[in-house]
Amino acid sequence: MERISHSRIKIIFLVTTVILIVLSLLSYLRIKNLVDTGKLVNHTQEVKLELEGIVAELTEAESSLRGYIISKDSTFLNAYYTYMANTDRRINKVTALTADNPLQQQSLIALRKTVHKKMEYMDRILDTAAVSTISQPQMLGGRALMNNVHKQTEAMEKEEQRLLEHRSELLTKEAFITPMFTIFLIVGAIIILVAAYIKITQELKISDRLKADVEKRTAELELAYGALQQKNEELLTMNKELESFAYISSHDLQEPLRKIQTFANRIMTSESQNLTDKAKSYFLRIEDAANRMQTLIADLLAYSRTSTSERNFESIDLNKILEDVKKDFEEIITEKNAVIETGEMCHATVIPFQFHQLMHNIIGNSLKFSNPGIPSHIIVTSRKINATEVKSPQSIPGNKYCHISIADNGIGFEPEYKDYIFELFKRLHDKAKIEGTGIGLTIVKKIIENHNGIITAKGELNKGAIFDIYIPVSGVNL
């Protein structure tokens, strides 16, 4: 919408500019026409003046000649030569003035011939006058020539006048058309300018309204942002309170539980001879339930510690962590005849105790969910890869990742449970068959999140499970 109106305004101004340029050109031409008309009139005047001058000079020369013949006064003779020279000069001038007009040039050749004949005739009379007297007919013989000169100059003057009239007429016609066109253009320009003014005012109004809208919205957003920030802070405080609540409550829960365990245990050891078998079985059940609750609380504590404890990242050889985890399970490994195969492990920047917990939980699961009758075989591999190789939309492009894969040959799980198993308290097996609180993998997930990493699980029932972990290597010097 705005783009379109911008280009519209551009077009309006372009058209107006073009019209103004045309108008300036036209008025220039108009002025030039006027000047040209004046020049033409002057030119014609000049040509006419010169032509009349030729006749006048010749007439003067003839009078001077007569005067000399009668009085023999040399001043007349001098005047005669001057007029004769002037006549020639004027003919040359007319030749120059009418150089652009072939018709006049042709007439001029004829005129020059006649004038020269007349001049030769007068020179001859002057020569004769030196030796004898001049007869009347001799004197009058030049008149016919003079009449010819008259006729020819008049014809040329007429031609010049005709030309002037023709040119003036053309110019007048132009002078009439130009103002009409000019007026037309001016009116057009005014209409366009008015239209442009209206359009621009409209656009400005819209723009003003939009600006006000934006300002209003910005203010609203700022308000909302402030509220959001406050809510965020509240949420952060609440989260902290909740975390410490989870920690303290699970910690305090242990105290009465410990007493239940101790007293139940005390009865079973020192008072069992006084109990019936039924009572003994009940006490065993109490012990069993209390033990389960103990594990649950311990796991919950571990879970809340993954978010409350300090996060000190260290660049560490993951092999070391794996060795420690293997030591944790030494007894079970021997007892179950399990094999844990580890290859070269990468260096990565991790929170060491959390990463230990993570590997402990995953490998512990593999050992726990082993296929009955088949010794556990766990393969841990790791290699450095680029973000593009990470099969997850959460990977950050450009990052290097350490890909750790933990595969086992245990009872696995049905593929549709691949996300379910990471949820808090979610379990796939009956408590009576396989112990567990459903917290272990939630802790794993939380730790991975603390490391900005990604974890995925693949499983096939009775064939095994594979956990793929991707953690950013960043900050590691190699």
Partner 1 sequence: MHTGHPKNIFLADDDADDRLIFKEALKELNVKTALTIITDGVELMSVLDITVPPPPDVVFLDLNMPRKDGMECLREMRHIQKLKNIPVVIFSTSDHPGTIEKTYKLGATYFICKPRSFELLKKAIETILSFDSSLLTRQPSKEEYFLKIA
Rule CB under 8 A: say whether 254 interacts with partner 1. Answer: yes
Is 111 in contact with 91 (CB distance < 8 Å)? yes
Q: How far apart are CA 369 and CA 433, in angstroms?
A: 10
Q: Which of residues 258, 311, 431, 463 is near partner 1 by CB under 8 A?
A: 258
Residue 289 beta carbon to partner 1: minimum distance, rounded to whole angstroms: 14
Nearer to partner 1 by C-beta: 143 or 259? 259
Residue 295 beta carbon to partner 1: minimum distance, rounded to whole angstroms: 12
Nearer to partner 1 by C-beta: 290 or 350? 290
Rule CB under 8 A: say whether 240 interacts with partner 1. Answer: no
Q: Which of 242, 339, 216, 342 lies closest to 300, judged by CA?
A: 242
Residue 253 beta carbon to partner 1: minimum distance, rounded to whole angstroms: 10
132-162: b or e for each residue (b if 16 or more CB lie within 10 Å)? eeeeeeeeeebeebbebbeebbeebbebbee
Give the total residue count for the chain: 478
Residue 317 beta carbon to partner 1: minimum distance, rounded to whole angstroms: 22
Nearer to partner 1 by C-beta: 174 or 243? 243
Within 8 A by CB and 6+ apart from 71, the residues are none
Q: Which of 421, 426, 430 lies closest to 465, judged by CA?
A: 421
Nearer to partner 1 by C-beta: 44 or 437? 437
Q: How far apart are CA 119 and CA 137, in angstroms?
A: 17
Among the residue ranges 9-17, 125-133, 257-265, 319-327, the one whose residues contact partner 1 (CB under 8 A): 257-265
Q: Which of residues 251, 285, 311, 431 is near partner 1 by CB under 8 A?
A: 251
Within 8 A by CB and 6+ apart from 165, the residues are none
> CA 456, 459, 461: angle at the middle one, nearest 5?
160
Rule CB under 8 A: say whether 211 interacts with partner 1. Answer: no
Among the residue ranges 38-46, 101-109, 140-148, 253-261, the one whose residues contact partner 1 (CB under 8 A): 253-261
Residue 279 beta carbon to partner 1: minimum distance, rounded to whole angstroms: 18
Among the residue ranges 81-89, 158-166, 260-268, 327-335, the one whose residues contact partner 1 (CB under 8 A): 260-268
List, in sequence order, every residue forming a beta bridge with 68; answer none if it has no partner.
none
The span from the first CA to the last CA of the chain, in angstroms, equals: 56
Residue 419 beta carbon to partner 1: minimum distance, rounded to whole angstroms: 32
Rule CB under 8 A: say whether 255 interacts with partner 1. Answer: yes
Query: How many residues belong to the site for partner 1 (CB under 8 A)?
Result: 13
Rule CB under 8 A: say whether 463 interacts with partner 1. Answer: no
Beta strands 314-317; 347-350: pairing state = antiparallel
The residues in 290-309 that bind partner 1, with binding defined as CB under 8 A, are: 294
Nearer to partner 1 by C-beta: 269 or 276? 269
Q: How far apart are CA 422 and CA 428, in angstroms?
A: 11
Rule CB under 8 A: say whether 311 interacts with partner 1. Answer: no
Residue 314 beta carbon to partner 1: minimum distance, rounded to whole angstroms: 16
Residue 262 beta carbon to partner 1: minimum distance, rounded to whole angstroms: 6
Question: Mask: binding to partner 1, 262-281, rule CB under 8 A, as x and -?
Answer: xx-xx--xx-----------
Is 348 in contact with 402 (CB distance < 8 Å)? yes
State residue 58 phi and psi, 5-degree precision.
-65, -45
Nearer to partner 1 by C-beta: 255 or 430? 255
Q: Which of 169, 163, 39 lies closest to 102, judged by CA?
A: 163
CA 190 and chain centroid, separation? 36
Is 192 in contact with 19 (CB distance < 8 Å)? yes
Residue 311 beta carbon to partner 1: minimum distance, rounded to whole angstroms: 14
Q: Which of 407, 410, 404, 452 lies closest to 428, judged by CA?
A: 410
Residue 257 beta carbon to partner 1: minimum distance, rounded to whole angstroms: 8
Q: Which of 309, 318, 306 lies closest to 473, judged by CA?
A: 318
Rule CB under 8 A: say whether 261 interacts with partner 1. Answer: yes
Residue 266 beta carbon to partner 1: minimum distance, rounded to whole angstroms: 5
* DSSP 8-class letter at 424: T
Nearer to partner 1 by C-beta: 249 or 371? 249
Chain contacts with partner 1 (rule: CB under 8 A): 251, 254-255, 258-259, 261-263, 265-266, 269-270, 294
